[in-house]
Amino acid sequence: MHPVVKLVVQRVALGLLLLLAASVLIFAGTMILPGDVAQSILGQSATPEALANLRAELGLNEPPVTRYFNWLFGVLQGDLGTALTNGQDIATSMGRRLSNTLFLAFWAAVVAVPLAIFLGLLSVLYRDRWPDKLISAVSLASISIPEFLIGYVLMYFVAVQLGWFSTVAMINDSMSVLEKLNAIALPVAVLTLVVLAHMMRMTRAAILNVMQSAYIETAELKGLSAFRVIFRHAFPNAIAPVVNVVMLNLAYLVVGVVVIEVVFVYPGMGQYLVDHVSKRDVPVVQACGLVFAAVYIGLNMVADIVAILANPRLRHPK
């Protein structure tokens, strides 16, 4: 088997094992939560007989191992269960919410990724000069401030004082793309500021590490301009660590949007999860946790595979 194919297969297998381990942790974590699910559904006035019947109906009397495998086999068949609070199919309800979260994450990535790479290259081009120091200072300030605070500040000044955008990022299927983009402008701005600094600084660090190589010194001795050396020689060889950090931040854009969605009342996965956590709807919490874990592990697996394919020593083994 070709070394590249072998490494890709190993990464995929490792990703599946990690997802299985994550499913165990998610199920165990929801099972050890304090309180009684049946009591929270029926209320404090429920009779012991009603509570016993509901526990039997929900399968709460079965051993945890049996309940886990029943849940896992259902997930493998595409059945995420039914929400306890409203009786709706979780997969159907989550599909709409997940598409909204991916829509928000996509546009945040469209803005953040090219901007981060450009600013990282610009910092290297003007290393230790005022553009580099200004970009580093602004990025460090943005990464040090909690995202909910950035959201409230933008909401007050941009939406309330200037009236440019809405304070609530509500979207629906009847809206056009431009109307949706106008609604999510502030959440996209906050997410961009949150992930921009990390991607930019990692891009800068990766390129500076490559700049210490002997072939870069040779290119400089040939009289090539700094712009050509960075863009033609340094950046292509620093693409693997850059891809890794981009994928990590893309995973955050999907998994870590819970706070942003709550702040802007955005109808995505984060808001859906928070709403059902407060109602102690365990099947929904388990399904959301598993989807978040799958997205995070999947994007990291893609980053590993891209890094493997970007390595010439693996593509052309001796």
Report yes or no: 58 and 38 within 8 Å, Cβ to Cβ.
yes
Q: How many CA atoms lie within 13 A of 306 on its CB side?
A: 18
| pLDDT, position 46 | 66
Radius of gyration of the chain (CA): 24
Per-residue pLDDT of the chain (318 residues; tens, 9 = 90+): 667 777 778 888 888 898 888 888 888 877 776 666 666 666 666 677 776 776 676 666 677 777 788 778 878 877 777 777 777 777 787 888 888 888 888 888 888 888 888 887 788 777 778 877 888 788 777 777 777 888 888 888 887 887 787 777 777 777 787 878 888 888 888 888 888 877 787 777 777 777 767 766 676 667 777 667 766 666 666 666 777 777 777 777 777 777 888 888 888 887 888 777 777 777 888 888 888 888 888 888 887 777 777 666 555 555
Q: d(Cα 219, Cα 2) in Å, to the nearest integer?
A: 33
- φ/ψ of 251, rounded to 5, equals -65, -40
Q: Is 82 helix (H, G, I), strand (E, B) or coil?
A: strand
| pLDDT, position 91 | 79
Domains located in the chain, CATH noted: 100-272 (1.10.3720.10)
* DSSP conformational letter for 89: B
| pLDDT, position 34 | 63
Q: d(Cα 138, Cα 131) in Å, to the nearest integer?
A: 11
Q: d(Cα 234, Cα 226) in Å, to the nearest integer?
A: 10
Report yes or no: 196 and 112 within 8 Å, Cβ to Cβ.
yes
- φ/ψ of 74, rounded to 5, equals -65, -40
Report yes or no: 311 and 305 within 8 Å, Cβ to Cβ.
no
DSSP 142-177: HHHS-HHHHHHHHIIIIIIIS--S-SS----TTS-H
Token output for 316:
């052309």
Sign of CA dihedral 147, 152, 155, 156: negative
Q: Among residues 166, 242, 151, which one has the least CA distance to residue 198?
A: 242
| pLDDT, position 312 | 61
Report yes or no: 82 and 90 within 8 Å, Cβ to Cβ.
yes
Q: Is 105 helix (H, G, I), strand (E, B) or coil?
A: helix
* DSSP conformational letter for 212: T
Report yes or no: 196 and 122 within 8 Å, Cβ to Cβ.
no
Q: d(Cα 287, Cα 290) in Å, to the nearest integer?
A: 5
| pLDDT, position 227 | 66
